[in-house]
Structure 1
Amino acid sequence: MEFAEIILENRPSPFWNILKQIGVDKAVGVLPRSYKDWRQQLEENPWDYGPLMRYKNMLEDNGLKLVAIEDNPPMDGIRYGIQDLKEEQLEYVSHMLENMGKLGIKLWSYSWMAGFGWSRTHTHIKGDNGEFVSGFNIKDIENAPPPKLGKISADKLWNNLKDFLEYILPIIEKYDIKIAMHPDDPPIEEYRGVARIMNSIENYDRYLNLVKSENIGITFCQGNFALMIDDIPGAIRHFNKRIFFVHFRDVKGNKYNFVETLIGKGKTDLVEVIKAYIDINFNGILRVDHTPTLEGDIEFYPGYSYLGRVYSIGYIKGLYEALKHG
């Protein structure tokens, strides 16, 4: 198991030094949209070789090895299957993957949420001890319109996903890049008229069999899987080596109405979760995710604060070391 942390800043920060001080020296990156060299901003996209290379070098010059990209170029033309837009965006994704391969970045976390990404309808709920947490209530979106590209059915999403995987398969196998599908967040049946398909164990099994490759796997976001099923350890053992990347977080509630929680305060038995990762000899990347904002904390945006992430990293590392050697 490799502990890493997502880097959202576009330049070195004191948080990077804190990560190294607590034993985390690997980084999960986003595409460097705000890190463009002004001389090249008209010539290169964030997923092109130059920006990715400079971003990787900036992290590694400051002691953090870039091991994954958790971000993507525009992809809704691909998800919706809009022909002209799809062809352009497939080029974006293929260039990104090729450049990742050339730079030795071997993991891409992506999603199949069309029209909208992950969503919360509440960003600053007061938790039990005064910390701020985020949450979702489906009643808040009952009257919300569909996205600009409109509605789309589950069948079309499945067909477009299969086409996409077939298109990128030669690239990811050539460069030995693992791609890890993030769940729909929240994992409801549809969101504002748009179908969701990455929202159950059965659908993940279907996904893993669409196009057969050991390079196609899962971002096991525990918060989302906890809203799909009650047995998280069982799901970990079920997917086993197809779990490439873990988001370690927890929630209270159900997929229609939930809040995120401090590690150890949610609905999941985290001792049994760690035991399951040890049982399958998980050797992928794990990071904390969507942590509460504590008093006096520096919040990058809701769910990504400094103290909350440091607390969670310490909690998980302590639990893992105790159970691994206990």
Structure 2
Amino acid sequence: MRFAEIILENRPSWFWRVLRQLGVYHVTGILPRWFSDWRMIEEEKPWDYGPLMRYKNMLEDNGLKLVIIEDNPPMDGIRLGIPRVKEEELDNVARLIENMGKLGIEIWVYNWMAGIGWSRTHTHIVGRDGMYVSGFNYGDIEKAPPHRLVKEYGVTHEKLWNNLREFLEYIVPIAEQSNVKIAMHPDDPPIPEFRGIPRIMNSIESFEKLLTLVRSDYNGITLCQGNFTLMTDDLPSVIRRFRDRIFFVHFRDVKGDRYNFVETLIGEGKTDLVGVMRAYVEIGYNGYVRVDHTPTLENDTELGAPGYNYLGRIYTIGYIKGLYEAVKREFSKGY
């Protein structure tokens, strides 16, 4: 198991040095939207070779290796099957995958949430001893108006599945040729619909179906534990079931259910984290893991969105490392 902690800064930071001091040398990046080249007549896109190359070099010059991109060009035209729009978006995704391959960036994380990405209805709930936590309550959006996409494009679950199949049939061969694995992130929150927009990546059965749409060693899963633990009461068995299809892990936890939950400090949620780690060790998982959505502790700094901060992530890295080493020792003694 290797850490690939997410980098959100657009220039070197003290936190990058702390990551190395903690033994974290691989990182997850977002698309470098700030990294266009002012000398170009036609502006470069963040998924073009130049910005990605400069971003990768900046990280490597500071002792970090970029192995994952957890971001995407606009994709709602693809998800919804919008004529003319989807063709341009498919071309942009293909360029991203091809350029990642040229630069040796191993994994692309994407999602199938149309219109509305990951969402919380509460951003600064006062948690234990004053830490701030985020949360979601479906009751807060029940009276919200339908999203414009519902009226404009008549979105259905069936249409989303059909468009996903077409997307995978197009992009998986490019991923195979480029040696880039693609890893679907679950709907967040994993509910059947969000303001009238259907969602399909919200159950264990949905991910089983995903893997059969196009069978390939390059078609896999981002196992975001905070979402998967809202889909099942037995997350360790899910880890064992998907085994080599898990390309990336988001290590976090929640309290509640998919319709009403809060995010917690690691070790204080609903998930059996010891059982989870035993499952990873048992299947020989040697992929990447990162911290995700930690509470904001006293005097900490939030990086643009609740759950992305410094102190909570540093604490969680230590927790995961200790848990992993303890479970490995159990297995070495014949657990």
TM-score, normalised via structure 1 length: 0.98
Ranges of 4+ aligned residues in structure 1 off by more than 6 Å: none
Cα shift at 1:42: 4.2
- The residue type paired with residue 239 of structure 1 is F
Residues 1:188 and 2:184 aligned together: no
Equivalent residue for 1:244?
A: 247
Equivalent residue for 1:179?
A: 182
Report matched runs for 1:206-217 at 5 Å: 206-217=209-220
Give, in whole Å, the separation in 2 of the partners of 1:248 and 1:163.
30
Give, in whole Å, the separation in 2 of the partners of 1:157 and 1:174.
26
Report matched runs for 1:262-281 at 5 Å: 262-281=265-284
Match of 1:231 among 231, 234, 246: 234
Give, in whole Å, the separation in 2 of the partners of 1:136 and 1:41.
44
Q: Which ranges in structure 1 are unaligned for 5 or more consecutive residues?
A: none
Match of 1:304 among 308, 321, 324: 308
Give, in whole Å, the separation in 1 of the partners of 2:134 and 2:312.
13
Deviations 1:169-225, CA, capped at 9 Å, x for gaps: 221110121100000000001011111110111111111100111110000000001
Report matched runs for 1:7-46 at 5 Å: 7-40=7-40, 42-46=42-46
Q: Matched residues, percent identical?
A: 68
Cα shift at 1:68: 0.4
Equivalent residue for 1:318?
A: 322
- The residue type paired with residue 168 of structure 1 is I
- The residue type paired with residue 307 of structure 2 is G
Equivalent residue for 2:333?
A: none
Cα shift at 1:41: 8.1
Matched residue pairs, number?
A: 326
Give, in whole Å, the separation in 2 of the partners of 1:31 and 1:83.
25
Equivalent residue for 2:225?
A: 222
Give, in whole Å, the separation in 1 of the partners of 2:237 and 2:119.
26
Give, in whole Å, the separation in 2 of the partners of 1:210 and 1:12.
41
Cα shift at 1:34: 1.8
Equivalent residue for 2:162?
A: 159
Give, in whole Å, the separation in 2 of the partners of 1:127 and 1:37.
44
Cα shift at 1:226: 0.7
Give, in whole Å, the separation in 2 of the partners of 1:142 and 1:31.
33
Give, in whole Å, the separation in 1 of the partners of 2:261 and 2:35.
35
Q: Which ranges in structure 2 are unaligned for 5 or more consecutive residues?
A: 331-335
Question: Residue 83 of structure 1 aligns to a residue in which SS?
Answer: coil
- RMSD across aligned C-alpha pairs, in angstroms? 1.0
- The residue type paired with residue 87 of structure 2 is E
Deviations 1:84-139, CA, capped at 9 Å, x for gaps: 10001001100000000000001001000011100000000011221101000001
Cα shift at 1:149: 2.6
